[in-house]
Amino acid sequence: MKTMSVLWLVSGLWLLTGYGFAQQFHYVSIDVPCSACPGQIAAQTIANGINSEGDIVGAFTDAVGLQHGFLLREGRFTTIDFPGAVATNANGISSSGRIVGNYTAPFTPGVSDTAPTDSPIYCPASGSAACTKGFLYRHGNFSTVLAAGHPGAVPWRITRHGDIYGCLHDFDFMNSMFGAVWTRSSVLSLMANGGELTDSSQSMPNSMNNGATPDGHLIVGFWADTTGHRRGFLVQDGVFQSYDVPGSTFTAPWDINPRRQFVGTYIDGTGQRHGFLQRPNGSAPINVDYPGAAATIAFGINSEGVIVGRYTIGGITHGFVAEAVEE
């Protein structure tokens, strides 16, 4: 197999090293049932997160093009819709079943555009990034996840301790986006600036925290450098380092599990999009590509190493579950 250099976590540092090895996966496709849709399945299904119990959350598009969140538990789909929202996306689920995600607030002239900019209903115009808000769903109840002074947020992961990782943003999803961590008592915007973590007023724009180990000592996510190149990152005990799949033009880690395995997506030199799994043992990243798919993204990984994501084939997007085949 081709040898590739990767970043390896050892004794708290990421070092250049490594020989990759082949890994086979068993894949299962996920499609939310939709009786009014062609083929009786949702027009689009995306699996975003999976917890240690094997519960999966994500999003699907119905027959009229509306987006809903979903929970797949023990073979049963449950729709998740934030009350009054135009669209809902379920992103992460903790071991206790708490779910985080984002919703799109409706544009109501004279109401949503005159509300405080950091309120749950603020939406200055249809299609504005400021209309995208975060939520936490637990025990059948919704609460909003926002940051003071910022209209938008996308919570992506929630740990078993209840800490939430994601991003906050203003009026776009690019330059005003900052990686963020919400705890029970505060929200702290995190991103590296010169190798140090700083607050939101000084941190690097166009970044998102996509997951962390339960103790919060290792965070993964993505950022854009000064050329606009989208790259992955790892923050180990406050020390920032970029992470790129070798030879890629785009890298974005999307989740990490307690064993410090993380998954994500990258685009290779030919423009092909792949999913990947990075193990903390010095080996090269492993492709996680649904067989025959035109593009694959690995979005989530649980404590057992089970991966979820999305793939596109024949112009249709489906969710998937991938489990490593024992050798």
Euclidean distance between CA atoms 247 and 197, whole angstroms: 28
pLDDT band for 242, please (50, 70, 90 cuts).
very high
For the cut 90, the answer to whether the pLDDT of residue 317 exceeds it is yes
Mean pLDDT of the chain: 87
Residue 201 CB coordination number (10 Å): 8
pLDDT value, residue 231: 94
pLDDT tens string 226-235: 888 899 999 9
Contact (Cβ atoms closer than 8 angstroms) between residue 265 and residue 278? no
The residue-averaged pLDDT of 191-214 equals 59
Per DSSP, the three-state class of 77 is: strand
pLDDT value, residue 22: 60
Backbone torsions φ then ψ of 18, nearest 5 degrees: 110, 140
Rounded (5°) CA angle 321-143-130: 85
For the cut 80, the answer to whether the pLDDT of residue 298 exceeds it is yes
- Neighbouring residues of 87: CB distance < 8 A, sequence distance ≥ 6: 66, 67, 68, 103, 104
The residue-averaged pLDDT of 280-293 equals 92
Nearest to 322 by CA among 294, 279, 289: 289
pLDDT value, residue 13: 35
CATH code for the domain defined by 6-322: 2.120.10.30
How is residue 184 annotated by DSSP?
S
Euclidean distance between CA atoms 111 and 210, whole angstroms: 33
pLDDT tens string 133-161: 999 999 999 999 998 899 999 999 999 98
For the cut 50, the answer to whether the pLDDT of residue 17 exceeds it is no
The residue-averaged pLDDT of 162-175 equals 91
For the cut 80, the answer to whether the pLDDT of residue 70 exceeds it is yes
What is the reported pTM?
A: 0.89
Euclidean distance between CA atoms 314 and 293, whole angstroms: 8
The residue-averaged pLDDT of 51-73 equals 97
For the cut 70, the answer to whether the pLDDT of residue 107 exceeds it is yes
Number of H helices, E strands in the chain: 0, 28
pLDDT band for 93, please (50, 70, 90 cuts).
very high
